[in-house]
Structure 1
Amino acid sequence: MHQKTAARIILIIGLCILACTAHIVAASEGSNDTESQVLGITGINAVNFPNVITYVTVNTPEGREGSLTADDFQVFENGDLMEITSVQFPDTSSRTKLDLAILFDETGSMSEEIADMKARVNELTDAIDSANIDSRYMLISFRDSLTVRQGWTSDPSLIKQAVDSLEADGGDDAPEVNLDAIETALSSGFRPDAQHMILDITDSMTHYRGDGTEFSQYTIPDTASHLLQNGTSYILVGPSSVSGGFNVHTDKKEIVKALGGSGLFIDIHGDEFSTILDRIQSIITHTYTISYFTPRMYGEDQKITLEIRVGADSATGLFTVQKDRIFSPAPSETKDTSGMQGQQQIRDIDDISTYGTSVVDITGINGVNFPYIMTYVTVNSTAGKNGALKQEDFQVFEDNELMNITSFAFSDQSTTSKLDLAILFDDTGSMSDEINETKEKVMGLTKSIALAGIDCRYALISFKDTVTINQEWTSDPLVIQQAVDGLHASEGFDAPEANLDAIEAALEMGFRSDAQHMIIDITDDLTHYRGDGSPFSQYIISETAENLLNNGTSFVLVGPTTVSGAFNEQNDKRELVKALGGSGLFIDIHGEEFSTILNNIQGIITHTYTLGYYSPKQTADGSKRTVRVVVPPDEDSGQYTAIAR
């Protein structure tokens, strides 16, 4: 291979990274002619399902200028029109995240490519940094065995050292264990809120399970499915032909074909790359990021068709949904994974109320004035969000008996409702971005609450291994602004944190009996609990859930679905949401940009229906009563505790 060709490959890789996306290749033997298409889907990431993100190019003057808005796009999922939540166009003023795994064939025929990578790696990382990308790197090399040269790192000098350790040697008995290298990258723990990208550089075919050797544990359909499930953009710099002859089992272009929206093929033996460079440059400067929440539930590994329309033009792609987003490679004695670090664990919780997954959401049930019950409801439809629904549009059932609604209100300027809002903030070092965004957004939040006619009190509590009450109840927006401005992310890298104790401190502060009680709990980690072997917490999840229910408190958890430690029923606060049975709501902290999450919370607070009724069972017997709210054909249910105060 010519040295000039190798240099071009490195340039293409750098451009691909800057784009943080990949171009569709629908055919096994080459890429689509994107320049002849008006609309192109360049990637689909559903790893934070039900939040789905798709990357789109629009080859019109307006599209290339970035002047299109959400109103210009339509998104269809399996033929159903979706509601777009955000549309963004590339802007270096906003910081994005990228996890980049580089897979390198280091057999003897790759010596020129390895030498060029060694010479250019600093230039590559500098380009990523100048593009305002928060990037982590990993390097895996492979022959008939694989080696993790460098686990995830944000330090460019470490990835440089890893690249310098590559040595082209052996491997004249092609194929190589390329599929196993891909699977090892997938099992390494991509950040859920980052772009997932694998660059696979090779000049040979791949081993596969059943090829008559013991080198590989995987097949191309296995790996293609795992790439789809992990929402990973896959860039194959590989051969269009080999001396041994390709087939569907050894040709990794079949992976690109199967991805249907997240793959790009670059011919490693091509002499002319000017057209490819032009196309990738276009992707860098003309890509829209479109997000939406799907209301649909799907079976594991089911392929879902996504269609994007702009006017008369359309493009389609595929994504899948799975229970587990990280896949462990099958054990093999040929693999050296000593360089891997920071494995992340995902734990699924069934039957919890998750933002954006239903039309009707009960956000709180307040029984502190029992037998008078107040239920707080959001309706995620156009009429519901606009406050156009009337009392007769709702039905309220307690223990399956239809109730008589005696009071009805929507948060707007025509009525005055009351809210006591306690904000709990994890102020450990990993939360610096979220704290900075909250500082910028808090005044907008308080203004929108005032404009909605809500008489609101605020409190702020921060926590690490200890709890600090930064601001007790105040009705003054400037005071809560000053308290938020006083937050500083530091320390706390010895997770978990004293989150349950922060919740209990909020409950002890004294909510007004005639106000909605709400706690917003913002964290990216698990919680200490009594009996975890540390002295930091005095509580367990079941106790705190009971105390939230007894206090009639709405609990909104902005928390993680994945952590670097180990989730269990004692430290996973989603168990609180589950136990509350309707007075809890979960928002994935890594599901969207934190500014969007804050906007969603603002929408929940300022677009709430308050339904009041008297329970016909007026004995305060301490029983749990089930409340069901129906806005035909949708409904939600929750619980409160019938106790006298």
Structure 2
Amino acid sequence: MGHEQSHRYKLYSIKLIDEDEKHKEFRRELNLSNSIKHKTFPLMTDNAERSESMRRATLLLAFLLIFTALFAQLNILSVDTSTFPLINMKISGEEATASSIQVYDNGELAKLKSFSMDSLEDRKPLDIVFVIDNSGTMGVKIASVKEKVASIAAEMEKNGYDLRFAVLGFGTTINHEFINSKGSHFTTSVEELQKRLSEVLSYVGGADECQIRALYTAAGYDFRKNAGKVLILITDEDSYQNATNDSFYSGLMEKISKKRLNVFILHQDPDDRYYEIAKQSGGKAFKFGKDDFEKAFDELFIMRKFTSSMSFFLPCSYPTLKAGELHELRVKNLFTASEATTTIKVPEKSKTSLKIFEIDHSRFPEIHLKISLNTYDQTLYEDGIMVYESEKKINDISIMALSRKINAPVDIVFVLDTTASMINEIRAMVNNLITFTEILESSGLDARIGLITFGDELRSRYDLTDNFIKIKKVLEAQYATGGGDVPEASLDAIMGISDLTFRKNAQKIAIVITDAAPHYKGDSTDFSKYSVDEVREFLLKNRITFILVGPEKAMEFQNLRKDVPGRFIEISYARVRDFGTILSSIAKEITSQYEIIYKSPDPITPGERRVHVGYGIVGDSTVYSILPPIDFEINSLVARPFIVEPGETVELRCTTYPDNLLEFDWQVEAGNIVEKWDNKAIWQLPEKEGSYIATVTVKSVKFIKKAEVVVMVCKNPCRH
């Protein structure tokens, strides 16, 4: 290794010259004490020599324990939340596999996406800063560090680590920092590292140490961007004796999180802040005097070569996951039962947008959702999409991008205000309609377009068609007139959608474009026949996605949009951005939809259900309603076949009327129910011949009914 020239900051030489009288007196007393010791005990006995050797060996092993924590026990090297909700983590210290590693977020198991052991070539470089307490009581400990650091560095480099070292010394204040001729605090030379440690050892820094301030300063060093960043604090005092530490604590925690630093602390006096710092950073804190130092030293050379990378999702999302909150992550290796913890901060913001476009409960308890999810050129992770119903997380969901569906049908109705103030929007519609439809078709959607126009009255209605040129010509023929009284008949125009011919399986989307609040029933005019609540119920009942480009301050529209799947765009924003661009963005949202299918966790309770869909900290919610139950009848309970050989299976099927809002519980006299879904079950019969009974209990909110069926088990002759 090459030797680098270093320069100690002269600031601390000045502080040494100008130290106060109390500090000088402390130095004189220390020197006098050392002099008396040497005069009184000029020679050490054999026992004393052995005692001193054991003390130095113990301290040396204590120092090595830190490196064991870095490379021989399970250790979190780094956590990256830049691709949130996907989190990337680097661990080291133990051999592990995808089946042996578990990650917990505040005690709940996270969803692992990927795991791999790193090769030596993939290993990150490592920047290590020794933050050394050089008060009068720390001399032997620093000497131990100096003695062993060369062999540790050689072993680490042999195992593929690209190392750099820095040293910071402190007592009452920071008294030693080093910088090389290139302006860096770091050196690659072990000889230079030892030289720096010697210089720190030669200086007595005073009591009431500034540990937190020293860590804060070291956290600002020039670490390599892609390196593992490690601070090693060695001190024998707690951090509460120096008030300076208090003002640097919160800033240190912020730097640890922002720079993804690992902090390892070897200390003698108890201090809860040391453990908090180590916990948040994914490091460890060790107290002097542990009995397992020698064992840890042995593990150092066996285990430290292992590093692994993994990615995972937190087990929660919007609405339970809040921006900016702290989460404790705990990593556990099932092979070794060892654990490591760290704390992450959930990102404050996200560029991702998520909107629920449709909810269909016609096949209840099976629920179908369509959502628009746009990550704006960032990778979209489908595993990060989560669904909650009535505050319960749904663990089993099916997700498919609509673009993967061949010719997925979508019927889109433009409901357009054609009053005088909307002339520019009408022209933009004419100029951009074909582009709008091309975006839909290029994504594999089978689109049709319809048009309704309005002012103070419903003006025209054109049925859904795939002849987009025809719709464009209709738009070209529109005249922007009237509308002087500001409110327009937009609610009646929306209700006019009911007269259009939608395809049975098509997604229905209404895009309403207006710059005026709506007339409504009871507003002291005769322009509208409908209330806001009536139109809202119409949209929900018919599963119509409602995209509104309109005025934000109109309270009627705010109430209309409540819980209705869709999106809102402020009309003034659309005008500033260029209306054609807004149309294209709507088309892209429609094409970036995902269909989600799940089974309701409560198949029988009537009433309103609130559904949340989340992706990290963003999400949307809507509602659907289940009508109160009526009485039901069990029409039949059938076993097919009803005579089987020993150990064979039969299918059980129960038919009821009506067949929704019911729960089925299957019980058998012998054998096992090996599979069941709602009103069907698979029954494996026992090996012993005889007749056996299966019972189904059918429940609704108010009623419980039972039925039985008998199946015969015998060998072949019994079938004739």
Establish whether TM, by shorter chain, passes 0.5.
no
Report the TM-score range of the alignment, normalised by the length of the smaller protein. 0.3 to 0.5
Q: Higher relative CO (CA 8 A, sep ≥ 6), structure 1 or 2?
A: 1
TM-score, normalisation: structure 2: 0.40
Q: TM-score, normalised by structure 1?
A: 0.44
